[in-house]
Amino acid sequence: MTYFKEFELKTQLIQSITELGFENPTPIQEETIPFVLSSKQDLIGLAQTGTGKTAAFGLPVLNNVDLKNNKTQALMLSPTRELCMQIYNDLLDYSKYLEGIKIVVCYGGASIETQIRNLRAGAHIIVATPGRMHDLLRRKAADISNIEYLVLDEADEMLNMGFRDELDDILQFAPQERQTLLFSATMPKEVASLAQIYLSEPVEISVGKKNSGATNVEHDYYLVNEKQRYEAMRRVVDFYPSMYSIVFCRTRQDCQNIATKLINDGYPADALHGDLSQAQRDYAMGRFRSRAIRILVATDVAARGIDVDSLTHVINYNLPDDYDIYLHRSGRTGRAGNEGVSVALINVRERYKIKHLEKRVGKSFVQKQIPTGEEICKSSVTNYMNLVADSSIVDEQIDFLFTMDIKRLRDMDKEELINRFLSVHFNQVFEAYRNVPDLNVKDVSEKSKEKKEARKAKQGFTRMFINVGRIDGFDKQLLIDFVRDIAQQRDVEVIEITIRERFSIFSYPNRDIANLKKSASRISIDSRDLRIDEMDRDDGKRGGGESSKGGKSYNKERKSNKRNSRDRDRNYRRERGKSNRDFEGGEGNSRKSRKKR
């Protein structure tokens, strides 16, 4: 086992990181720190988010900075202001005992005039976003012509955010003789191309499988109805009462809308996205880190600056189109040796994405059922009972409580007291989930399987043909009513219905077919004979089904326009009123006129 004190770091750095609780380096730190301390060769570091990359490059750079030289010696570029601030604050913590060190952070959304003044006062290290750094160089407010270290952190995300042009321009101001350290969670072609241009014979340090997910993260997904996506997410959140999570959304608007809904529904939540001011973002992050809120709804860009090791879940409200982004999201949980869960909410049409993600992550995804109301209530009670059982008793507080008048509670037996406490605590949950519907959605394969099984199970039914269809104004329910009226049986099963343009198909009980056909033989529809036949009958007429008399009339009707179709509907409704007395219990809503011969 390696210890930080074994690295050839200045005693001031060892002192500060020891106070921060650093003892054993992470794998990326263990390989990167001694390399940068002793070598000037370029480096590519591949490691998931949350593996300690800031210390991996920050400590050796701080160690090697010449404090007597006031020129800028290191430039660290990162994609977002949140991540810049995180790196900046970490560097301040590491360099607590390095007297004279000057570190300046520069990012958009803050006063550029203040940043220019800070740079003019001197900066050994600049931490910046590409956009703001490009602006400062264009204004000649920063000088990076003497840097010895160039750090590109989260390089894949910088390229995803469209910073390639800014990076190209920035690097024109940097000297050729420098050490470039590129860090990335994934290695897509764009990052490989960038490395090929700007790095010289780099050494690659890779922790874990390249372009794969974190090892201690479970990947779950839920099939949801698109209109019920938010409600499904709420149930997942309620099923895990101790959840501490980031909910990822595609757009800023979605992010704000979902956060607002959660807040209005009583959840400790907030939003983090680019439309917020820096003060608002800092406030939201402060509340999240302190656990004043336990759900942060964020865009991928804004979440780049979140460095929290204890997240229990990440929720993909929508799956990203870029699978590498999913790796970044899921890497937010399962850190520092903890277990984590990455949840994806998908509709049936997105099932194919799960297969692709399984290949990219290198793990199987588990389909979970959306929790029912009963399951949520049980989970809430179990969680509460565990909290009570595991809580510590503070004697001073108990003594104070017993000075109060609790006679009414003393008179209750143990079982009644427990029941009343549970009722008070969970009445709201019970009411919220009383008689709620099941939100689980069957996927296409399950539906097809069930249909096949249902078809096999429907012994005693025959597929039937009838020469009416959409052109006659029929839908499935109207056809059911129509067939039942013909048979004069209001409870007969008419199932497996297919409506075509000029005919329809349905399944009908074998025992009732003779009666149905006999009744149909006495009915005409729009001056043509009504035909109902078994599908396996081959008499040359099925598919048209008209007699010579009816055929002529039917062919004319096929050319009728929608207005004529509506006229037929009205005629049938009038005829239904007259003819209902001829049918026992005839209360259908069929739209076709019909008459006895």
HEC string of 243-266 equals CCEEEEECCHHHHHHHHHHHHHCC
| CATH number of residue 339's parent domain | 3.40.50.300
Q: Is residue 453 part of a domain?
A: no
The residue ranking higher by pLDDT, 472 or 587, is 472
Query: Which of 139-143, 145-149, 542-546 has the weakest average pLDDT?
Result: 542-546
Look at residue 556 in the predicted model and tell me its pLDDT. 36
Kindly state whether residues 363 and 405 are assigned to the same domain.
no
From 398, 432, 466, the end of a domain falls on 432
* Percent of the chain surpassing pLDDT 90: 45
pLDDT tens digits for range 185-206: 878 888 888 899 889 999 999 8
Cα angle: 56, vertex 61, 65; to 5 degrees: 165
Binned at pLDDT 50, 70 and 90, residue 305 comes out as low
Kindly state whether residues 468 and 570 are assigned to the same domain.
yes
Tell me which range, 448-457, 503-512, 558-567, is most confidently predicted by mean pLDDT.
503-512
Kindly state whether residues 270 and 190 are assigned to the same domain.
no
Measure the N-to-C terminal CA separation of the chain; round to a whole number of Å. Answer: 98
| Mean pLDDT across 511-540 | 79
Cβ neighbours around 372 below 10 Å, total: 17
Indicate if the pLDDT at residue 128 is higher than 90.
yes
Q: Is residue 31 part of a domain?
A: yes
**Residues with Cβ < 8 Å from 267, sequence gap 6 or more?**
237, 295
Tell me which range, 4-13, 449-458, 548-557, is most confidently predicted by mean pLDDT.
4-13
Q: Is residue 444 part of a domain?
A: no
Kindly state whether residues 49 and 164 are assigned to the same domain.
yes
**Residues with Cβ < 8 Å from 21, sequence gap 6 or more?**
none
Look at residue 247 in the predicted model and tell me its pLDDT. 97
| Mean pLDDT across 514-536 | 84
Kindly state whether residues 308 and 398 are assigned to the same domain.
no
Look at residue 70 in the predicted model and tell me its pLDDT. 92
Long-range contacts of 542-551 (CB under 8 A, 24+ apart): 542/465, 543/465, 543/503, 544/467, 545/465, 545/466, 545/467, 545/503, 546/467, 550/524
Q: Is residue 450 part of a domain?
A: no
Binned at pLDDT 50, 70 and 90, residue 513 comes out as very high
User: Which amino acid appears at position 203 of this protein?
Assistant: V
Residue 133: closest CA among 180, 183, 81: 81
Indicate if the pLDDT at residue 507 is higher than 80.
yes
Tokens standing for residue 163? 């910073």
Binned at pLDDT 50, 70 and 90, residue 332 comes out as confident
Kindly state whether residues 191 and 237 are assigned to the same domain.
no
The residue ranking higher by pLDDT, 41 or 383, is 41
Binned at pLDDT 50, 70 and 90, residue 148 comes out as very high
Q: Is residue 212 part of a domain?
A: no
Look at residue 398 in the predicted model and tell me its pLDDT. 63
The residue ranking higher by pLDDT, 595 or 100, is 100
Residue 131: closest CA among 170, 104, 102: 170
DSSP letter for 184, please.
Answer: E
Look at residue 458 in the predicted model and tell me its pLDDT. 65
Q: Which domain does 408 fall in, by range?
A: 374-432
Phi, psi of 125 (to 5 degrees): -130, 130
Kindly state whether residues 367 and 387 are assigned to the same domain.
no
For the beta sheet containing 504-509, the strands, ordered from the edge strand earlier in sequence to the opposite edge, are 495-499, 504-509, 461-466, 532-534
Look at residue 120 in the predicted model and tell me its pLDDT. 95
Q: Is residue 178 part of a domain?
A: yes
The residue ranking higher by pLDDT, 148 or 596, is 148
Residue written as token pair 């191309």? 193
pLDDT tens digits for range 361-377: 889 999 999 999 888 88
Kindly state whether residues 356 and 398 are assigned to the same domain.
no
Instruction: In whole angstroms, give the CA distance from residue 316 to residue 247.
Output: 6
Kindly state whether residues 349 and 388 are assigned to the same domain.
no
Instruction: In whole angstroms, give the CA distance from residue 319 to residue 130.
Output: 27
Q: Specify the DSSP element, H or E, that contains 557.
A: helix 548-558
Look at residue 134 in the predicted model and tell me its pLDDT. 96
Look at residue 225 in the predicted model and tell me its pLDDT. 92
Query: Which ranges of 316-372 would DSSP assign to H, the alpha helix?
Result: 323-330, 351-361
pLDDT tens digits for range 258-290: 999 999 999 999 999 988 887 898 899 889 999
The residue ranking higher by pLDDT, 577 or 327, is 327
| Mean pLDDT across 450-465 | 68
Kindly state whether residues 250 and 202 are assigned to the same domain.
no
Q: Is residue 438 part of a domain?
A: no
User: Which amino acid appears at position 155 of this protein?
Assistant: A
Cβ contact 129:154 at 8 Å: no
Indicate if the pLDDT at residue 150 is higher than 70.
yes
Cβ neighbours around 163 below 10 Å, total: 20
Instruction: In whole angstroms, give the CA distance from residue 41 to residue 60.
Output: 14
The residue ranking higher by pLDDT, 592 or 415, is 415
| CATH number of residue 584's parent domain | 3.30.70.330
Query: What is the C-alpha R_g of the chain?
Result: 35
Look at residue 117 in the predicted model and tell me its pLDDT. 96
Look at residue 548 in the predicted model and tell me its pLDDT. 32
Look at residue 144 in the predicted model and tell me its pLDDT. 97
Cβ contact 482:447 at 8 Å: no
The domain tally of the chain equals: 4
User: Which amino acid appears at position 487 of this protein?
Assistant: A
From 336, 354, 372, the end of a domain falls on 372
**3-class state of residue 460 by DSSP:** coil
Q: Specify the DSSP element, H or E, that contains 181.
A: strand 179-184
**Residues with Cβ < 8 Å from 468, sequence gap 6 or more?**
474, 479, 482, 502, 503, 504, 525, 530, 592
| Mean pLDDT across 178-184 | 94
State the SS3 of 484-551. HHHHCCCCCCCEEEEECCCCEEEEEEHHHHHHHHHHHCCEEECCEECCEEECCCCCCCCCCCCCHHHH
The shares of helix, strand and coil residues in the chain, as percent rounded to the nearest 5, are 45, 15, 40
| Mean pLDDT across 456-478 | 84
From 372, 387, 408, the end of a domain falls on 372
Indicate if the pLDDT at residue 579 is higher than 90.
no
Instruction: In whole angstroms, give the CA distance from residue 458 to residue 3.
Output: 71
The residue ranking higher by pLDDT, 421 or 263, is 263
CA distances from 594 to 154, 537, 572 (A): 74, 25, 7
Q: Is residue 179 part of a domain?
A: yes
For the beta sheet containing 125-128, the strands, ordered from the edge strand earlier in sequence to the opposite edge, are 103-106, 125-128, 74-77, 149-152, 179-184, 43-46, 203-206
Kindly state whether residues 365 and 386 are assigned to the same domain.
no
Kindly state whether residues 325 and 393 are assigned to the same domain.
no
Mean pLDDT over each residue of the chain, to the nearest integer: 82
